[in-house]
Structure 1
Amino acid sequence: MSAHGNPQAYQELKAALAAEIPGERLIDDPLRTLAYGSDASFYRLIPQLVVRVESEAELIRVLAECHSRRLPVTFRAAGTSLSGQAVTDSVLILLGRAWRGHEILDHGAAIRLQPGVIGARANQLLAPFRRKIGPDPASLNSCMIGGIAANNASGMCCGTAQNSYRTLRDIRVILADGTLLDTVDADSREAFRHSHAALLGELERLSRETLADTALADKIRHKYRLKNTTGYALNSLVDFTDGIEILKHLMIGSEGTLGFISSITYDTVVDEPEKAAALAIFPDMATTCRATIALKQTPVSAVELMDRAALRSVQDKPGMPEFLGALPDGVAALLIDVRGNDEAVLESREAQVHAALEGLKTLEPLTFMRDSVTYERYWKIRKGLFPAVGAVRETGTTVVIEDVAFPVERLDEGVLALGEVFHRHGYRDAILFGHALEGNLHFVFPQGFEKPGEVERYQALMDEVAHLVGGEYGGSLKAEHGTGRNMAPYVELEWGADAYALMWRIKALFDPANLLNPEVILSRNPTLHLENLKPLPAADPIVDKCIECGFCEPVCPSKDLTLTPRQRIVIRRELARLEALGERASNDDKARIERLWQDYRYQGDETCAAIGLCATQCPVDINTGDLIRNLRHERNIGKAGVARTIGRHFSGATRLGRGVLNVAAIGQAVLGDKGMTKVSRGLRNFSGGRLPQWLPSMPRAASIKVLSRPVGSGDVARDKVVYLPSCATRVFGAGRDDQESRSVMELTLALLDKAGYEVIIPAMPGHLCCGMAFQSKGQFTEAEHKARELNRELLAASQNGRYPVLSDTSPCTLQMRATLDKRLMLLEPVAFAHDYLLPRLEITPTTERIAVHVTCSSARMGLADKFVALAKACAKDVVVPAEIDCCGFAGDKGFATPELNASALHGLADQVKDCAAGYSNSRTCEIGLSQHGGIPYRSILSLVDRVSRPKTAVAPGQAPA
């Protein structure tokens, strides 16, 4: 008898696993289990236990312990599943850091990937070989290989020819009984043939039976001529006769119900470097569908259909053509992508597209855009359509995405019929987009489940959609998003009784106890898709438009430590829901509120860097850091007086900071690094975390006296620049053991002099602050006061914006751009050096290997490419560490919450171990990077100074390159 639902069974499981798995990876507290109760779908199931596994041995042990207690398990990679595949109310097995391994094979012709590798990372690894993996889902920047393979995800350019099923070379899989099969290993294959002869024999028998049933075999071939992820990959039974080959391909699209994919080897596909995209606007959907059929015969890479409602949802996005807003109702568009190995091939393919569309009316001239900025913008907007629709829904409703495929030759009539179904059931806000070449359409619509009759309305819609697509048109109810829970009740309707029975036989062969992700793909429950619906209550206007897609998670510095932005929002919503109960709240509800807020203090607040990098990945620009800063403001409102005192005496505060550094230097000299670290940790623990942690990378104190010396004044006419040293560079000098002994202020002034600038220092430089130090702690009033002070002084120094202003710290520049007078030309080190200094200097690039760290603020200002270009102008060998998006130092977080910095920079040292030094544009970030990188990190201006000398003549007013 199953122990599922018995809390005692999970406590016993946790105790048994604790013998081999550290307690911090056995998660059962109310806050984090709730956080992992959501994926990108509209379902919520709260696991009883979350186990973060770091090895195959651990995973096998978890499976064995769960099997002995008959406890169901679900595997989770990135949790971007759209149909409820990655949630459970039992045991959730979560992939830890150790599952991010990769190996390039055959000079890029193949790649072996562990399931925790993000799809975009795989393509980054293959880029030097001009190759990529075949699948290209819209969530490629956030979804992981485990989910891509387990769902047979496809995408825009992939079609059916390049999905995981078609590009699979080998697989390493762990079955429900703990057996490991690695198909690349001959010994593993032979051992498996011996130990699991019965399983392989049954698979081969199923293949023979299916091939002998001509009607069933023909139906399977027809279904997979389309995009199809409904049910199991029955095509494996007609495509292969060997048991291991059948097993390999059954694993693709099995959604964790047949086994765990430990690694997968893909045959890669060519990534043609020359790319162009055009937005073709047609007067109606019928014309658009005819254009799609015409384009089917041309060498296009992708054709993406968008109806008028879809265009309306993105027409106001930056960079979109102005004519979109004036388009009439009823129009539709195709985003046409063409690629080639060289310019001539690209031009030829563009010409073939124009020829194919000859005679079809377009409302605007068809123009292919080749510049990378516009091209990437078009695709970013297309990939963000699903979350963008969620952003404009009524607060409190969820968003549903239906993913169907019609035979492309019947696309126009299928679109019309499906639209009529949606309108008939009152879904007039639905938008339509999809991969037109494959007849694959996504219908997205807001859906509330709280009001009476809404669940029934949704059920009636789904029933009719299933009969229309799966029955009348012989299409796919799930073309690429996986069956999950959402379509499980309709698998038999689409496939028929014989094929459905065949799927159940497959499930029984692999998982006779039905413990691997039960109720996913196959279910006897006809109302499964109407149960465990996720509430999305109003919590805060900043985050209410979030649909919990998870796009933000890969760049979050706390993702491997505590919560991600998506999870912070999930918890905040649940707190809002509970608090809205008011007097109706039970004692249990009140206790739960108190416990959640207590745990959220560390998990959600203290470990949030609040740097807003999540907004760069969010299709609707949600900055979860703003949510956390608001919470800090509410919590710290009683400390406003302290903040005001510090702000009004800021010169004294920075002097105190330098004094503390001098005292710490004495302590380090006496105690050594180990002794000083130990003493600092003890004092920090004794203070309850209120005292900062001393770090061995702690620099010397800076000297502000350098600012009193004029630079570049005299008889020679020079261009002028206002130089604003940040409070960080006024406190922190050079590293104690660094060969670069000058502070950022010293080297900045020396470099400006070398480039022929006269430097203007604002009045009261020691007192000025952009306000970010206060803003990040929720002290908004004092932050505004400091911004006003700084604004006044910079306007005066720059003569109301006549001269550019250089801030030596990137995060400060970002803050100032948001708060100061728009007349000010505010530049941080990268943009200033690239645009203004390089044209004035003779550069001799260093032959040393160097590393660069693109700060969060640089990324948010769109300077990542310029940052790398500047580094490559100054060094011949530049390393940009992969998957180090944010250092997590976040001003003073590196001292106050050092574990955040350590977690965010995990793996940095291995990537930069051969580098002589690293360079960035934030002094505090450089402290943390030095600590965890094992090499000194300095200002990027130090690198520019090292490799440059003055040009013989620089005319005042010379325009930047």
Structure 2
Amino acid sequence: MTALEPTTTTDAAAALAADLQRVVGGEVRFDPAHRAMWSADASNYRKVPIGVVRPRDAADVEAALAVCREHQVPVLPRGAGTSIAGQAVNTAVVLDFTRHMNRILEIDPEARTARVEPGVICDQLRDAAAPHGLTFGPDPSTHNRCTIGGMIGNNACGSHSVAWGKTVDNTVRLEALTYRGERIDTRDAMPAALLALHERIGPRIAETFPDLTRRVSGYNLDQLPHDLAKAMVGSEGTLAVTTAATMRLVESPPARALAVLGFESAYVAADNVMVVREHAPLTIEGMDSGLIAALRAQDPVSTSWRALPPGGGWLYVETGGADKAEARAKAQAIAAAMKPYGLTEAIVEDDAARMKALWRIREDGAGILTRSPDGGEAWPGWEDAAVPPERFGSYLREFDRVLERHGRKGVYYGHFGDGCLHVRIDFDLLTEPGVANFRAFMEDAADAVVAHGGSLSGEHGDGRARSELLPRMYPPDVIAAFEEFKGIFDPDDRMNPGCIVRSARLDEDLRIFMGMPALGTPALGFTHDRGEFGRALRRCLGVGKCVTSHGGVMCPSYRATGDEQHSTRGRARLLFEMANGEVVTGGFQDDDVADALDLCLSCKGCKTDCPVGVDMAAYKTEFLAQRYRNKLRPASHYSMGALPRWMRLVGKLPASAVTGLNALARVKPLAALAKRVGGIAPEREIPAIAPETFTTTARARALETAVRPAPRGRLLLWPDTFTDHFDPSIAEDAVAVLESLGYGVELPPRTVCCGLTWTSTGQVGAARRVLRRSLRTIAPWVEQGVPVVGLEPSCTAALRTDAEELLPDEPLVAALDVRTFAELLAEHTDELRERVSGGARALVQLHCHQYADLGSEADRAVMAALGIEAEVLDSGCCGLAGNFGFEKGHYEVSMAAAERVLLPAVRTADPDVAVIADGFSCRTQLRQAGTREPVHLARMAAQALGLRAELRPDG
């Protein structure tokens, strides 16, 4: 039995797990769900681990290694699992350091060092160093989730390597344990075996290692005999397990500026990086126009790309200074110096928010490019080769010829100043001829980069993707030295075997080629994935933006629980493995998958925040539709999933009867019974229903039939269930504002519904019927091009985006012109400014579906025109999320999401600060949390324009 073929029978794995549980204080997980979630990283590869161990401390690591040694099974130390070369997957016991061993042990500002545990996140270290005017130099695009241990394993770099180098250049000391349990402290004397190795091979290393800053391929034998810590960096977990590391910190400029330089093409940008380097900037990053095309295709709501200067290729050049003026002057000097070198136009920014928006385009590149502009799939593999920067333009042209020769297409971005190119390529990894083409391309690409004096890897390491190609870069005696180097640390070949030496084949264990069986006809259209649910499940590449602690909306349940299974990535992995059927065997009836999806809020945050547009809300809908096909459903699906139907019945009651229902809902025994029957969380209050709906009072005025003179044209107001039955005064305010602007506001002749509540509970057939009936009702307006105005963001988003998934072939869906209230008002900002006197202050909670599908630029413009000084909270989901927060078992997670940012911000706001929350869920969460009464933008607009009448209270 070899190290690559460990004992993984059910009995052997159970015995191993039992022995680990006896001695390890941290979690030991050998269940199918955890093995499935850790079976892939951000690469093309898949290897199902034996199990997952989360050590609490170095003693746990030592104990786990002892047990694995006894059972003769391999070990894989792993950080955030964002590796792109495949070194973070193996048939081994995975030691996951993200949960516990994540403390910063010491910061020494005098020595400019920090001693940390391996699970410390890069940004966590940077934030801790910032008060001392210091930072950690390497900053990969995954800096808000990648771990220091993982960065050491991969020798990670990032955009600031021009100034501060790779991880190897910032590593001072490592403390580690070998597979055999030997302790390593790199402050100690160099082992004799390493000195002897250097004595023999040192001259050959000096002759054969390429002279460039971005050589990451192979072991760092050039660091012998002087620095053992640096020699171990980039070893991809193949030598030992790091238990603590002392890292170098660098002085962080107090102020920064960013010059974005536009060129005719990426070639021209690459040709001229040496000119930029002469100015000693902090970064020189590059992008190709294809990345912008992919961004626009993946996220049509985003307009960040418009901030770029004209061109077909760009350089991002960051400068630092003692203050903004100095940093900006340096950036302007670089822009001026580039005018003779093909510059088309440049912009210089020193505003932090605008710089962050520009950087997001570059940082999300790795994910964005997994879907090409035409919807095709693209993959890593040949991801980050590097050549001397003075030869970068030549290499780029040669690389394009290699692509063309193999019939492949790729889009570029990367660290142009260091000659490092990132690219995603449209490999066919589904068929045998496609995989053969993949191998042939990789071999030719390796030869091309070596011919240019480069390295197969310039950042992400060799892993399973490039280790096999190392003999094309290094001569046989150096490859033999690599094997000897590993053998000194790991003579049993049990530490992450198959990487760097004695490598796995680059075309083995390809996650996509291993494939998924047919999943049958999906319930949803999956229009952006060519109608295939399986294709949709291939979107997640594991870049892990969903496992971050703050910023954006994704992923509220992960942020509340910290569990991988409640992240977008974890759920996507489980669904993929469910479809594969090898590890997760229960199909749509699998309880592990159901449990993971149960805490998905269907907030759609991932649809926008995930660089590849994973839409877990849609996947959850599909799963529920298949799981409960022709079966009894949970009670909440019948109560809240069919809420519009129940509200339609309530709407037929007289006002006095509705008032009586509200009173009964406050009687605790009756309310408890109703909640138990309806599957509602006992901690929740049942929202009060308005005695009279908006449509009842409006139809009494014959609003739906009276076509009044309207200088600015007709509008059809969509009377959604939530506004109509719970907050009807919002609609009254909206009508007053729209009519004051000269619009003729009309209503459908009968009840309409977007079907959202049925969709979110997986009742796709009912949702489709409800939506089709509603579209038939408003067909006369749609066919005449009358805009449909929505007031509830979730319903408006459903009409704009979900409708095509429910009814992909319905002509009325394509003809719908759906607008938000703010989008209508944004066309009249000048008039609004003229009519408003005075101002107001407000906190703004964006509804998640608005964030994902509608955008908020119009809202911001309208609030400014109305004189509202608005702070749009970066609070993520409010936690209620439609039916989610009302369902039994979800209350704790729901409130944890709200308590992260939203509720504390509202509690501490000044009394005169309004809280704008257009979403019914957001308003309900705020009301039930006992904070101040939230308002809709329509009410703020009516007040600012002097149209706010004394209306009867809702409910």
**Alignment TM-score, normalising by the size of structure 2:** 0.72
Counting only pairs closer than 5 Å after superposition, residues 590-609 of structure 1 correspond to structure 2 as 594=586, 597-599=589-591, 602-603=594-595, 605-609=597-601
What's 2:275 paired with? 294
Residue 855 (structure 2) pairs with residue 862 (structure 1): yes
614, 622, 629: which one aligns with 2:606: 614
Q: Is the Cα contact below 8 Å between 1:659 and 1:701 reproduced in 2?
A: no
What's 1:489 paired with? 468
Task: Give the counterpart letter for 2:502 in structure 1.
Answer: R
497, 500, 516: which one aligns with 1:518: 497
What's 2:253 paired with? 270
Q: 1:702 to 1:367 in 2, by over 3 A?
A: same
Counting only pairs closer than 5 Å after superposition, residues 531-680 of structure 1 correspond to structure 2 as 531-536=508-513, 537=515, 541=532, 544=535, 546-551=538-543, 553-554=546-547, 555-559=554-558, 560=563, 562=565, 564-573=567-576, 594=586, 597-599=589-591, 602-603=594-595, 605-634=597-626, 650-652=647-649, 665-667=666-668
Distance 2:444 2:787 in 1: 66
What's 2:455 paired with? 476
What is the CA distance between 1:483 and its match in structure 2? 1.7
Q: Is the Cα contact below 8 Å between 1:404 and 1:440 reproduced in 2?
A: yes
What's 1:696 paired with? 683
Task: Give the counterpart letter for 1:135 in structure 2.
Answer: P
Distance 1:804 1:917 in 2: 38
What's 2:215 paired with? 228
Q: 1:876 to 1:627 in 2, by over 3 A?
A: closer
Q: Is the Cα contact below 8 Å between 1:842 and 1:949 reproduced in 2?
A: no
Query: Which digits, 9 at most, give the CA deviation of each residue in 1:559-599, with x for residues without a partner?
Result: 42635444555555555566xxxxxxxxxx8x975456433
What is the CA distance between 1:776 and its match in structure 2? 1.7
Distance 2:749 2:134 in 1: 52
Q: 1:354 to 1:66 in 2, by over 3 A?
A: same
What is the CA distance between 1:544 and its match in structure 2? 1.9
Q: Is the Cα contact below 8 Å between 1:135 and 1:154 reproduced in 2?
A: yes
What is the CA distance between 1:780 and its match in structure 2? 4.5
What is the CA distance between 1:439 and its match in structure 2? 1.6
What's 1:48 paired with? 50
Q: Is the Cα contact below 8 Å between 1:223 and 1:475 reproduced in 2?
A: yes
* Equivalent position SS for 2:384: strand
What's 2:426 paired with? 446
Distance 1:709 1:410 in 2: 74
175, 182, 202: which one aligns with 2:190: 202
Q: 1:263 to 1:322 in 2, by over 3 A?
A: closer
What is the CA distance between 1:167 and its match in structure 2? 3.6
Residue 821 (structure 2) pairs with residue 827 (structure 1): yes
780, 794, 803: which one aligns with 1:811: 794
What's 2:72 paired with? 70
Distance 1:201 1:852 in 2: 58
Distance 1:258 1:907 in 2: 42
What is the CA distance between 1:650 and its match in structure 2? 3.4
* Equivalent position SS for 1:487: helix
Distance 2:564 2:823 in 1: 31
Q: Is the Cα contact below 8 Å between 1:905 and 1:929 reproduced in 2?
A: no
Gaps of 5+ in 1: 180-194, 579-588, 671-675, 685-690, 714-718, 733-743, 955-961
* Equivalent position SS for 1:337: strand
What is the CA distance between 1:479 and its match in structure 2? 0.7
What's 2:203 paired with? 215
Q: Is the Cα contact below 8 Å between 2:77 and 2:94 reproduced in 1?
A: yes
* Equivalent position SS for 2:621: helix
Task: Give the counterpart letter for 1:37 in structure 2.
Answer: S
What's 1:939 paired with? 934
Q: Is the Cα contact below 8 Å between 2:139 and 2:158 reproduced in 1?
A: yes
Task: Give the counterpart letter for 2:156 in structure 1.
Answer: A
* Equivalent position SS for 2:36: helix
Distance 2:16 2:825 in 1: 55
Distance 1:797 1:669 in 2: 44
What's 1:688 paired with? none
Task: Give the counterpart letter for 2:232 in structure 1.
Answer: L
Task: Give the counterpart letter for 2:794 in structure 1.
Answer: P
Q: 1:34 to 1:101 in 2, by over 3 A?
A: same
What is the CA distance between 1:701 and its match in structure 2? 2.4
What is the CA distance between 1:700 and its match in structure 2? 5.1
14, 18, 21: which one aligns with 1:15: 18
What is the CA distance between 1:53 and its match in structure 2? 4.9
Q: Is the Cα contact below 8 Å between 1:730 and 1:766 reproduced in 2?
A: no
* Equivalent position SS for 1:270: coil
Q: Is the Cα contact below 8 Å between 1:858 and 1:864 reproduced in 2?
A: no
What is the CA distance between 1:40 and its match in structure 2? 1.7
Distance 2:245 2:895 in 1: 25
What is the CA distance between 1:84 and its match in structure 2? 0.7
Query: Which digits, 9 at most, give the CA deviation of each residue in 1:750-787, with x for residues without a partner?
Result: 99999998999986999554431122234446545655
**Alignment TM-score, normalising by the size of structure 1:** 0.72
356, 379, 384: which one aligns with 1:403: 384
Q: 1:888 to 1:520 in 2, by over 3 A?
A: farther
Distance 1:646 1:845 in 2: 34
Q: 1:784 to 1:375 in 2, by over 3 A?
A: farther
What is the CA distance between 1:494 and its match in structure 2? 3.3
* Equivalent position SS for 1:153: coil
Q: 1:415 to 1:804 in 2, by over 3 A?
A: closer
What is the CA distance between 1:260 and its match in structure 2? 3.4
Q: 1:622 to 1:595 in 2, by over 3 A?
A: closer
Distance 2:533 2:661 in 1: 38
What is the CA distance between 1:448 and its match in structure 2? 3.6
* Equivalent position SS for 1:276: strand
What is the CA distance between 1:892 and its match in structure 2? 1.0
What is the CA distance between 1:46 and its match in structure 2? 0.9
What is the CA distance between 1:289 and its match in structure 2? 4.2
Distance 1:659 1:124 in 2: 55
Distance 1:304 1:751 in 2: 47
* Equivalent position SS for 2:164: coil
What's 1:280 paired with? 263
What is the CA distance between 1:896 and its match in structure 2? 2.9
Query: Which digits, 9 at most, give the CA deviation of each residue in 1:827-849, with x for residues without a partner?
Result: 379999x9899984745769xxx
Q: 1:851 to 1:54 in 2, by over 3 A?
A: farther
Distance 1:463 1:952 in 2: 71
Task: Give the counterpart letter for 2:214 in structure 1.
Answer: K
What is the CA distance between 1:480 and its match in structure 2? 0.3
Distance 2:444 2:319 in 1: 39
What's 2:758 paired with? 774
Q: 1:942 to 1:125 in 2, by over 3 A?
A: farther
Over aligned residue pairs, what C-alpha RMSD do you find? Answer: 5.8
Q: Is the Cα contact below 8 Å between 1:170 and 1:266 reproduced in 2?
A: no
Residue 895 (structure 2) pairs with residue 898 (structure 1): no
67, 83, 89: which one aligns with 2:91: 89
Give % identity: 20
Q: 1:731 to 1:928 in 2, by over 3 A?
A: same
Distance 2:825 2:130 in 1: 27
What's 1:391 paired with? 371
Counting only pairs closer than 5 Å after superposition, residues 725-804 of structure 1 correspond to structure 2 as 727-728=721-722, 769-780=753-764, 782-783=766-767
Q: Is the Cα contact below 8 Å between 1:611 and 1:857 reproduced in 2?
A: no
Counting only pairs closer than 5 Å after superposition, residues 120-519 of structure 1 correspond to structure 2 as 133-140=136-143, 143-159=146-162, 161-168=164-171, 176=179, 200-203=188-191, 206=194, 210=198, 215=203, 218=206, 223=210, 225-237=212-224, 240=226, 246-247=228-229, 250-251=232-233, 254-255=236-237, 257-260=239-242, 267=249, 269-270=252-253, 272-282=255-265, 285=267, 287-305=268-286, 333-339=313-319, 341-343=323-325, 345-358=327-340, 360-361=341-342, 365-368=344-347, 370=349, 379-392=359-372, 399-423=380-404, 426-448=406-428, 451-452=431-432, 457-470=437-450, 472-491=451-470, 494-496=473-475, 500=479, 503-504=482-483, 506-519=485-498
What is the CA distance between 1:153 and its match in structure 2? 1.9
Distance 1:950 1:486 in 2: 60
